[in-house]
Amino acid sequence: MTSSLPPQQHQQQDEDENLWLEDIDGEKQLAWARAQNAITVQAYAQSPAFEALQQGILEVLDSDERIPMVRKIGPRFFYNFWRDKENPKGIWRRTTLDEYRKPRPEWETVLDIDALAAADGENWVWHGADCLEPDYRRCLISLSRGGADADVVREFDLEAKQFVEGGFSLPEAKNHVGWKDIDHLYVATDFGPGSMTSSSYPRIVKEWRRGTPLEGAVTVYEGLHEDMSVSAWRDNTPGFERDFVSRQMDFYESETWLRGTDGKLVKIDVPDDSNTDITREWMLVEPREDWTVGGATYRSGSLLAAKFDDYMAGRRELTVLFEPDDTTALDDYSWTRNHLVLNVMHDVVNQLEVLTPPADGKGPWKRESLGGAPELSTIAAGGIDEDENDDYFLTVSGFLQPTTLYIGTIGQGEPQVIKDSPSFFDASRHRVSQHFATSKDGTRVPYFEIAPKDLKADGTNPTLQYAYGGFEIPLQPAYSGSIGRAWLDQGGVYVVANIRGGGEYGPRWHQAALQENRLRTCEDFAAVSEDLIARGITSPAHLGAMGGSNGGLLMGNMLTLYPHLYGAIVSEVALLDMRRYTNLSAGASWIAEYGDPDQPEEWEFIRTFSPYENAKPGLACPPVLFTTSTRDDRVGPVHARKMHARMKALGYDSSFYENLEGGHSAATDNKESAFMDALGYAYLWRHLRN
């Protein structure tokens, strides 16, 4: 339903001719969406070429040769969630490690989502399982209706492989739920009026005892209406059992407390904008800003370690495990039983390092290399069972290199190949290169280019440029059979732009494009486009741009601010109306990223990157396709609906497709994903191949 406008925006409401489209499930609005869908399908999705494109992508998504990535749950079994042609909604299944090593493992089905959906008469989408350690017999299964972020939660017995009759169960909401023990849960959910934040997430967390009504659960903590969310959980690691409560003020700032057995909360005294992790005796802290504590200053983007109990007792002795420089950033880390694996990016390419804490908890950590990625590819490693051993899985992937999965044990030689992903296209015809463009303010912006080896720099090559540029998320080299078949095999050039706003160079790269500096994402993306044109790789008539969610907002801005650079644009599940975004779906949760349009001084800079505001006559916009999903309760379909309606009213070549299911991914199964992907690629091919 349409949210109410703040007083200062009443006049703006009168100016918005498309407010009626904000009633997401209204009969008139859905009829409008279906009519727009029919026009787009008729124009772009009813040809033999489209069918071939869609089928090629679906074969990749449904392939039995894909690597079934697993997660260890309990002492024996490795679990995998799997979708294919026979199981479109998916099956949750398990096997042993010995069996998993085989080319064709035998799997035991634990839960069949297709069968469950048929029995319940619901379009269930798997949202995962939270299993209670250390016994790992009971799990909390989360299921979404049609792919929305909101889900229902049901208790499941892993031994009996069935839901627990009379067990814990939560109705549909944006739930945060976790085990305390077999008879108690920490629950943050919709408890009724006033219990949700302005971001549409829970404001109150309670402790719920088995066999009692949810209404009788005991309040643990209440946040503020303007907060993003609250949650609580227990770390049940044997010997290190602890309870925590967290208040997420916005996307980047939070407070965490240690909860005592008496319910008393003791705050963990670290910067609100840091990422903090407690594993066994260690606390790791990643500050987003320079942090001065204990007489020392630590750089933004560092990784710091301290003994947790000592820190809570007031000691401030921190060990620097990683410190960034101008070209390196911490990508990720993972614990094994006795070691910490660091994944570091140097100019967006990974290297792995193993750190071993001192036995007595004092002195330097031992450091050893675990290897680097092959040229212009991505390597990642993660512990398999951090409570039990030093085993790890390692993956290697590149734009032209199918993923390989290794298994190893730290300190016991080289890891061994356990699974290989198949090749879905002829990579031998292509090459990968990394380049650097210069943005408007002189910043060096990296980008990857995947192109035919015999490419002629004559400006005629159909080129697809992709980016995300937000929320400190990096885009790294990765294999995609779908892109290979749908774009590279057809003779196209594919480009990934590592623009500011992402995490390619850590917090500084992200913070450089926050709020009043948001236009830097557009300037960086445009700089890459201009570099491609200057190098003769392509020309505006043959250059297409694509992005989703925050990347879809970027596409809306390229459409309205840099229309001369592109021959066609695809904007997927995007934010576009930045005047209204905080009143739509979960938009209020992103104020820290974009700013608050209800504050006049902030609206002055937000309006510069609001595509809906900047869509005006006389822009000479290229053709644009907006795709979205009715069930997307994160960004929501309203943005794409209104933007398309405005573009059409202005006389521009705009197309629109709204999947009636799918959530923020815009698809509930592989068939829907293949259709949505094929639609975007088919649209670009139609406009760029001329």
Rounded-to-integer distance, Cα 675 and Cα 573, Å: 15
Question: Active site includes 610?
Answer: no
Q: What is the CA radius of gyration of the chain?
A: 25
Which residue type sits at 219?
T
How far is CA 287 from each of CA 273, 298, 570, 628, 649, rounded to the nearest angstrom? Answer: 7, 8, 36, 35, 47
Residue in 231, 254, 549, 629 annotated catalytic: 549
Rounded-to-integer distance, Cα 67 and Cα 141, Å: 24
Tell me the backbone φ, ψ of residue 462, rounded to 5 degrees.
-60, 120
Strand order in the sheet with 254-259: 229-235, 242-248, 254-259, 265-267
- Angle at which helices 27-44 and 638-649 pack, to 10 degrees? 70
Question: Active site includes 346?
Answer: no
Which token pair is 689? 């191949």
Q: E strands of 263-403, at which residues? A: 265-267, 275-279, 282-286, 291-293, 296-298, 303-307, 319-322, 328-335, 340-346, 349-356, 366-372, 377-383, 391-398
DSSP structural state of residue 560: H
Helical ranges in 621-662 per DSSP H: 638-649
Tell me the backbone φ, ψ of residue 336, rounded to 5 degrees.
-110, -170
Across 481-501, b (16+ Cβ under 10 Å) vs e yields: bbbbbbbbbbebbbbbbbbbb
Q: Output the CA torsion 191→192→197→198 (10° steps).
A: 160
Residue in 397, 664, 665, 687 annotated catalytic: 664
Please, how many CA atoms are within 13 Å of residue 664, restricted to the half-sphere of its CB? Answer: 16
Which residue type sits at 193?
P
Rounded-to-integer distance, Cα 287 and Cα 271, Å: 7
Which token pair is 80? 């995998």
Active site residues: 549, 664
